[in-house]
Amino acid sequence: MEFSIKQGSPEKLKSGCVVVGVFDGGKLSKAAQVLDKAAKHALSDLIARGDMKGKSASTLLLHKLAGVAAERVLLVGLGKVSELNNKTSLEILNATFKALNATQAKDAALYILDEGVGKDGGWVVKQAVFSASGQAFRADGMKSKPSKPAALKSITFATLDKPAAALKVALDQAAATASGMELTKTLANLPGNICTPTYLAARALALGKAHKSIKTTVLDEKAMQKLGMGSLLSVTRGSEQPAKLITLEYSGTAKTQKPIVLVGKGITFDTGGISLKPGADMDEMKYDMSGAASVLGTLQAIAEMGLKINVVGVIPTCENMPSGKATKPGDIVTSMSGQTIEILNTDAEGRLILCDALTYSKKFNPDTVIDIATLTGACVIALGHVASGMFANEDKLARELLAAGEQSHDRVWQLPLWEDYQPLLDSNFADMANIGGRAGGTITAACFLARFTKDYRWAHLDIAGTANVSGKEKGATGRPVPLLTQYLINRTATK
């Protein structure tokens, strides 16, 4: 999908559809007033008849208005000015693209920036791009008859006055972020029989091929053995598919700048292993590589932006399967850090692959390390599907992630990493157990990871509730690519 910003008068713009707002009670927005005049008061007439009341997120499609160059006019209700906030703005944007997608218009010009639909122009542009590309996304590529691609191919954010230069920057960032989200969704939606660790490695290598600024390397099990990754390798023991450790190094600025390392959980299917999961909805455990997919999507986004920052993606990836060779409850393994782990539940496997990847990450001399993982069902219970769980061993980093979440509308909520939780991981036989019991399951999982991240600034994102939706709308969301890219953009700006 193409996006652009353009100044122009709404009646003159040649396009498949021109979109203008109507406030509650039928008050025309500035652009709508210009159109109304050009169309001999066709808009005020239909409002007087009561066909459009300006109710928030309502829409009315008109064809071939005399005096208007565009083929169609879409009126969009903006509601009461006093009630315009992030939530209502998003509803308005989603309704707008839903109405546009119900037509065959190939392009559209949206006059929404002059009207304060949302906090600021940059925010509106970003969310509009996410909404438009989200609706254009198709997840049915593996059906024998996939649905038709969206007709709408090009969107212009039109303004009456000269648009601020910052809008163009926001637009380019949004478009790159949206294409990163698309990659993340595509990969996460793939079934486990296609999206194996080897497949993920191939996609990471392809990303390195497509972008000069990205260098990809892939370690096999032998190399991981040499590095002493006994914890990661214990998870893959039951699988026929070989595990991989993928590294993507994005160089956007001088080598002297320490990188931000993103570590993504890449369990391409989580059966639970010998601690087998119940059958219901187990298919959704194909999404257990969503952290990995978000790292690939974020790297693609920042490479497309040419962001002046250094970022390393680290992806530990394998399957968690039961078999005669699989790791058993009670088995004790030695992690790359030297710490030993008693595996009391083979279904708590995410932390086992992450801990070795986190120890490995030290070699990049990181400025900050952020891991992203569909780590605990308990996080879904705690925060639902709205916010991702967030932990950090530094308050400033936590605040930066909270802020980036608000800015991108890909929100996180902080949970505590207090020492008081650490004894829950005590083991009689090893340095620690891999589970801490039912109480505070999201926190004890983070506390486990904290034992491997003492040497650098670190945050952990638990995306179990936000990476995908279940039910009729089952599918990947592309989160937290908007959050991560926004955080990286912000880190570039403060340098």
Of residues 302 and 358, the one with the C-beta less far from ligand BES: 358
Enter the DSSP assignment of 251.
E
The nearer residue to ligand BES, 115 or 270, going by C-beta atoms, is 270
Conformational region of residue 158, where left means phi above 0, alpha means psi within -120 to 50, and beta covers everything else: beta
Task: Provide the minimum distance between the beta carbon of 166 and ligand BES in the complex, in angstroms, as a whole number.
Answer: 38
Binding mask 274-293 for ligand BES (x = CB under 6 A): --------------x-----
- Choice among 126, 185, 265, 351 that is catalytic: 351
The answer to whether 2 touches 154, Cβ cutoff 8 Å, is: yes
Residue 347 in contact with Mn ion, rule: CB under 5 A: yes
- Is residue 26 close enough to count as binding ligand BES by CB under 6 A? no
- 338-357 binders of ligand BES (CB under 6 A): 345, 347-350
Q: Which two tokens stand for residue 273?
A: 């292993």
3-state helix/strand/coil string of 385-406? CCCEEEEECCHHHHHHHHHHHH
Q: For residues 277 and 491, which CB has a smaller minimum distance to Mn ion in the complex? A: 277
Residue number, 117 or 435, with CB nearest to Mn ion: 435
SS3 (DSSP) at 493 = helix
Q: How far is the CB of 461 from ligand BES (least distance, A)?
A: 13
For residue 441, give every residue at least 6 positions away whose Cβ sits within 8 Å of its Cβ, in sequence order, or none: 376, 377, 378, 379
# residues contacting ligand BES (CB under 6 A): 16
Catalytic residue among 30, 277, 362, 491: 277
Residue 369 pairs in a beta bridge with 261, 458
Rule CB under 5 A: say whether 36 interacts with Mn ion: no
Residue 377 binds ligand BES, judged by CB under 6 A: yes
- The question of whether 49 is a catalytic residue gets the answer no
Quote the CA–CA distance of 50 and 32 in Å, as a whole number.
Answer: 16
Query: Which residue has tokens 């450790």?
Result: 245
Please pick, from the candidates 288, 356, 400, 410, the single residue that binds Zn ion as defined by CB under 5 A: 288
Kindly write out the interface string for residues 321-360 of this chain, putting x where it contacts Zn ion by CB under 5 A and - elsewhere: -----------------------------x----------
For residue 338, which amino acid is it?
G
Instruction: Choose the contact partner of 182 out of Zn ion, ligand BES, Mn ion, none; CB within 5 to 8 A by kind.
Output: none
Q: Hey, is 354 helix, strand or coil?
A: helix
For residue 330, is it left (φ>0), alpha (ψ between -120 and 50) or beta?
left
376 binds ligand BES (CB under 6 A): yes
Alpha-carbon 442 to chain mean position: 20
Residue 435 binds which entry of Zn ion, Mn ion, ligand BES, none, CB below 5-8 Å type-dependent: ligand BES
Q: Decide: is 8 part of the binding site for ligand BES (CB under 6 A).
A: no
Kindly tell me which of 394 and 426 has the beta carbon lying closer to ligand BES: 426
Please report how many Cα atoms fall inside a 13 Å half-sphere around the Cα of residue 280, on the Cβ side.
Answer: 2
Active site residue 30: no
Residue matched to tokens 């620690």 = 432
Q: Cα(376)–Cα(319) distance, rounded to whole angstroms?
A: 17
Structure tokens at 14: 């040649």
CB 482, min distance to ligand BES, A = 20
Cα–Cα distance for residue pair 207/212, rounded to 1 Å = 9
Helix, coil or strand: residue 488: helix
Residue 123 Cβ, how far from Zn ion at the closest point, in Å? 34
462 part of the interface to Mn ion, by CB under 5 A: no
Interacting span for Zn ion (CB under 5 A) from 111-119, 262-270, 376-384, 426-434? 262-270
Cα–Cα separations (whole angstroms), residue 413 to 186, 226, 406, 410, 444: 26, 38, 10, 10, 16
CB-nearer residue toward Zn ion: 267 or 344: 267
Residues that bind ligand BES (CB under 6 A): 270, 288, 345, 347-350, 374-378, 380, 435, 441, 464
Provide the annotated active-site residues.
277, 351
Residues that bind Zn ion (CB under 5 A): 267, 270, 288, 350
Residues that bind Mn ion (CB under 5 A): 270, 347, 349
